[in-house]
Amino acid sequence: MARQVRRAFKYRFYPTEEQAAELSRTFGCVRLVYNKALEERTRAWHGEKRRISYAQSSALLTQWKKTEELAFLAEVSSVPLQQALRHLQTAFVNFFAKRAAYPRFKSRKRSRASAEYTRSAFTLRDGRLTLAKLGAPLDIRWSRPLPEGAEPSTATVSCDRAGRWFVSLLCQDTIAGGPATDALVGVDAGITALVTLSSGEKIANPRHERRDRARLARAQRNLARKAPDSANRDRARRKVARVHARIADRRRDFLHKLSTRLVRENQTVVIEDLAVRNLLKNRRLARAISDAAWAELRSMLEYKCAWYGRDLVVIDRWFPSSKLCGTCGTVRTKLPLNFREWTCECGVVHDRDVNAARNIRAAGLAASACGDGVRPQRDTSRTGRSSAKQETQRATAGTPRSWAEEEVK
C-alpha cells in the first residue's frame, strides 16, 4: 500500500565565493536572531512572568532591523530569519510539552550553520535552484532525481565543519509498501557483532572509527601544535573535521543498508529499549558504543517501518534477554561480559547473542499479540525521573537488568 510522506532529498553543491560569503552572512544573522529572540523570551519570563509568542517575536525582529546597530539584518533574506523564529517557537512548544529541554543559545563554533528558505524565497526550474539574494543558481550535484512532479516546500542550506555545502529539499513523496511477508525477527545489538538476528545470523561491526583512528590521531596532534586563532589552525581543524565526516558518512551508509534490509525482509522487527545515554557513562565501552550508533539504527528503523507499513516492537529494557534460558526459562543471576557462551542448568549451551535475539523475538511476539511494547516513549533526564534512578530502583527490587546494563558493570 503506497503512502504519502514528507521526505528530504539532500544534495551537495559548490558555491562561488560571492555565494559562500552571502550564505555565511545569512547563517550569522539567523543565529543572531535566534539568540536575541531566546534572550528576550527568557528575560520576559523570569523578569515579568510573561510569555512571548511567535507574532511578538516577529514584531521585535522588525524593530531590530530599524536600529542602527542591527540594520544589517535587512540586507539578507527575511525568510530564513522568520524561519529561525518559527524553530524557536517549536522548541518552546516541545519544552512546555516536556518533550525536550529548555532551548539553548546557538554557538558560532559548535552549532550547525544552516538557513531554511520557504517557497517564497527560492525557485527551482529545469534543475536550477536559485535562492533569494544570491542571484545565480547553485552548482548542485544532483546525485538522485527528485520525485516526479514534486514541488519542494522548503530548501535548507547548510555547511558542515569540514567545509562541505549541502542543500536539503523537503518534498511530498509516495512510498510503495514493502513486499508481503509474515516474517518476524528479533534484533540484539552488540559491540563485537553490531546486531545478532534471531535466525542466528551475526552482522559484524564495521568499527569505522577504529579503522580511521590512526589518521584521526595524527590530524588531532597536528591541530594541537597550531597557534590559536591562526589560519594554520583553521586549516588543521578542517582536516580533523574531514576525518570525522568520513567516519560518520561510512557509518550512516552502513546503517541505512542494514535497516533497509531488516525492514524489507520482515513484517515485524523487535528490538530492545536500550538506555544508550546511560551506557555511555562507562569509560571502557563509551567509545565502542558511540561507534556502533545503536540510537541512530533505532531511529532509522522507526521511520522506515512507518514508511513501508511494518511493525516495530520495542521491549522493555529490563527484560533479561541474555540471562534467560530460551528452553527452560531459567534466569541466571549474573552473566559477565566475557561470557560469550553459557550452559544452563537444563544442559543447553547458549550463544549469548543468539540466545538474546531469540528471547527478544519471543518477547516481541507476545507483546505484539497483546498490543504492548510498540514504540514506547523514550526516557529522558528531563521527565523528572531519570533512567539511572529507574535502574537503581529496579535493581534494588530484585528485577533483572537487561543484558546491556549488566555488561557495563
Annotated active-site positions, please?
188, 272, 353
CA distances from 126 to 137, 143, 145, 193 (A): 11, 15, 12, 46
For residue 120, list its beta bridge partners.
none
Q: Per the structure block, which three cell numbers stand in for 247? A: 567516519
d(Cα 234, Cα 226) in Å, to the nearest integer? Answer: 9
Burial readout 174-207 (b: 16 or more C-beta within 10 A, e: otherwise): ebeebeeeeebbbbbbbbebbbbbbeeebbebbb
Q: Of 286, 212, 207, 292, which is closest to residue 246 (Cα–Cα)?
A: 212
d(CA 155, CA 130): 10
User: What are the cell numbers at 85?
Assistant: 523564529
Strands 140-141 and 3-13: antiparallel
Three-state DSSP class for 203? strand
